[in-house]
Structure 1
Amino acid sequence: MIACLRLLTAFCLAALLAACASSPSSSLGELPRTPDASIEQLLERATSSKSAEDAALLRLSAADMAYQQKDFPRAARILEQVQVDTLKPAQQVFAVTLTAELAMSRNQPKAALSALQHPSLQHVPELPAQQQVRTYSVHAAALEADGQAMAAAQQRVLLAPLLSGQAASANHDAIWSLVASLSTEQLQQPANDPVLAGWSSLALAVKGAGTLEQQQAAIDDWVKQHPDHPAAKQLPTALTKLKELASQPLTRIALLLPQEGPLAGVARALRDGFMAAHFQAQQSGQPAPSVQMVDSSRIGSLDDFYRQAQADGVQLVIGPLEKPLVKQLAAKPQLPITTLALNYADAGQKAPPQLFQFGLAAEDEAREVSRRARADGMVRAVAMVPSGEWGDRVLAAFRQDWESNGGTLLAAERIAQPVALAQQIADLFQLRQSEGRAKSVQSTVGGSIAAQPARRQDIDFLFLAATPQQAQQIKPTLNFQYAGDVPVYATSNLYSASGDVNQYNDMNGIRFCETPWLLDSSNSLRQQVVQQWPQAAGSLGRLYAMGVDAYTLAPRLGQLKALPDSRIQGLSGNLGINASQRVERQLPWAEFAGGQVKRLPDTPR
Structure 2
Amino acid sequence: MIACLRLFTALCLAALLAACASSPSSSLGELPRTPDASLEQLLQQASQTQNPEKAALLRLSAADLAMRQKNDQRAAQILAQVPLDQLKPAQQVFASTLAAELAMNRNDPKAALAALNHPSVSRIGELPNDLQVRTHTVHARALEADGQTLAAARERAAMSPILTGDAANSNNEAIWTLVAALPVDQLRGQSNDVMGGWMSLALAVKSAGTLQDQQNAIDQWRAQNPNHPASIQLPAPLIKLKELASQPLTKIAVLLPQDGQLAAVGKALRDGFMAAHYQAQQAGANPPSIQFYDSSRLTSLDDFYRTAQADGVQLVVGPLEKSLVKQLNARPQLPITTLALNYSDGAQGPAQLFQFGLAAEDEAREVARRARADGLTRAGAMVPKGEWGERVLNAFRQEWVAHGGSIVGIEYIDKPVALAQQVGDLVQLRKSAGEPMQFLFLAATPQQAQQIKPTLNYQYAGDLPVYATSHVFSASGNQDQYKDMNGVRFCETPWLLEPGNPLRQQVAAQWPQAGSSLGRLYAMGVDAYTLTSRLGQLKALPDSRIDGLSGSLSMSPSQHVERQLPWAEFVNGQVQRLPDTPN
> CA offset at residue 189 of structure 1?
5.3
Structure-2 change in CA distance of 1:336 and 1:21 (3 Å)? farther
Q: Does the 8 Å CA contact 1:335/1:355 hold for their aligned counterparts? A: yes
CA distance in 2 between partners of 1:232 and 1:593 (Å): 51
Partner of 1:175: 175
Structure-2 change in CA distance of 1:541 and 1:335 (3 Å)? same
CA distance in 2 between partners of 1:42 and 1:83 (Å): 17
1:115 aligns with 2:111: no
> CA offset at residue 116 of structure 1?
0.7
Partner of 2:240: 241
Partner of 1:15: none
CA distance in 2 between partners of 1:536 and 1:268 (Å): 11
Partner of 1:67: 67
Partner of 1:103: 103
SS in 2 for 1:107: coil
Partner of 1:419: 417
1:592 aligns with 2:570: yes
Q: Which runs of 4+ in 1 moved over 4 A?
A: 19-22, 454-457
Partner of 1:301: 300
> CA offset at residue 429 of structure 1?
0.9
1:482 aligns with 2:457: no
Structure 2: tracts of 5 or more residues without a match: 1-18
Q: Using structure 1 for the length normalisation, give the TM-score.
A: 0.89
Structure-2 change in CA distance of 1:456 and 1:45 (3 Å)? closer
Write out aligned runs for 1:119-198 (5 A).
119-188=119-188, 190-191=190-191, 194-198=193-197
SS in 2 for 1:235: coil
Bigger shift: 47-56 or 122-131?
47-56
Q: Does the 8 Å CA contact 2:22/2:32 hold for their aligned counterparts? A: no
Partner of 1:356: 354
> CA offset at residue 509 of structure 1?
2.6
Q: Does the 8 Å CA contact 2:378/2:435 hold for their aligned counterparts? A: no
CA distance in 2 between partners of 1:49 and 1:602 (Å): 59
Residue identity opposite 1:388 in structure 2: G
Partner of 1:331: 330
Q: Does the 8 Å CA contact 2:21/2:30 hold for their aligned counterparts? A: no
Across the aligned residues of Structure 1 and Structure 2, the Cα RMSD in angstroms comes to 2.2
CA distance in 2 between partners of 1:231 and 1:23 (Å): 38
Partner of 1:450: none
Partner of 1:373: 371
SS in 1 for 2:290: strand
Q: Does the 8 Å CA contact 1:455/1:482 hold for their aligned counterparts? A: no
Q: Does the 8 Å CA contact 2:20/2:57 hold for their aligned counterparts? A: no
Aligned-residue identity in percent: 70
SS in 1 for 2:381: strand
Bigger shift: 25-34 or 508-517?
25-34
1:268 aligns with 2:246: no
Q: Does the 8 Å CA contact 1:103/1:111 hold for their aligned counterparts? A: yes
Structure-2 change in CA distance of 1:154 and 1:24 (3 Å)? farther
Structure 1 residues 304-323: Cα deviation after superposition (integer angstroms, max 9, x where no partner): 32233233322111111111
Structure 1 residues 254-307: Cα deviation after superposition (integer angstroms, max 9, x where no partner): 111122332222111111111121122122221211112122223333233223
Partner of 1:406: 404
Q: Does the 8 Å CA contact 2:551/2:564 hold for their aligned counterparts? A: yes
SS in 2 for 1:406: coil
Residue identity opposite 1:358 in structure 2: F
Structure-2 change in CA distance of 1:480 and 1:329 (3 Å)? same
Write out aligned runs for 1:396-475 (5 A).
396-430=394-428, 458-475=436-453
Structure 1 residues 481-523: Cα deviation after superposition (integer angstroms, max 9, x where no partner): 2222222221111211111122122323322111111122222
Residue identity opposite 1:524 in structure 2: P
* Number of positions where the alignment pairs a residue of Structure 1 with one of Structure 2: 565
Partner of 2:473: 495
> CA offset at residue 187 of structure 1?
2.0
Structure-2 change in CA distance of 1:236 and 1:23 (3 Å)? farther
Residue identity opposite 1:497 in structure 2: A
Structure 1 residues 141-194: Cα deviation after superposition (integer angstroms, max 9, x where no partner): 111111111111111112222222322211101101111111222223555x81
Bigger shift: 236-245 or 158-167?
158-167
Partner of 2:78: 78
Structure 1 residues 59-94: Cα deviation after superposition (integer angstroms, max 9, x where no partner): 222221221121211222222222222222222222
CA distance in 2 between partners of 1:598 and 1:550 (Å): 27
Partner of 1:548: 526
Q: Does the 8 Å CA contact 1:381/1:409 hold for their aligned counterparts? A: yes
Q: Using structure 2 for the length normalisation, give the TM-score.
A: 0.92
Q: Does the 8 Å CA contact 1:429/1:456 hold for their aligned counterparts? A: no
Q: Does the 8 Å CA contact 1:379/1:406 hold for their aligned counterparts? A: yes
> CA offset at residue 413 of structure 1?
1.0
Which of residues 556, 561, 570 is equivalent to 1:578? 556
Which of residues 393, 414, 439 is equivalent to 2:391? 393
Residue identity opposite 1:391 in structure 2: G
Structure 1: tracts of 5 or more residues without a match: 1-18, 435-453
> CA offset at residue 575 of structure 1?
0.9
Partner of 2:317: 318
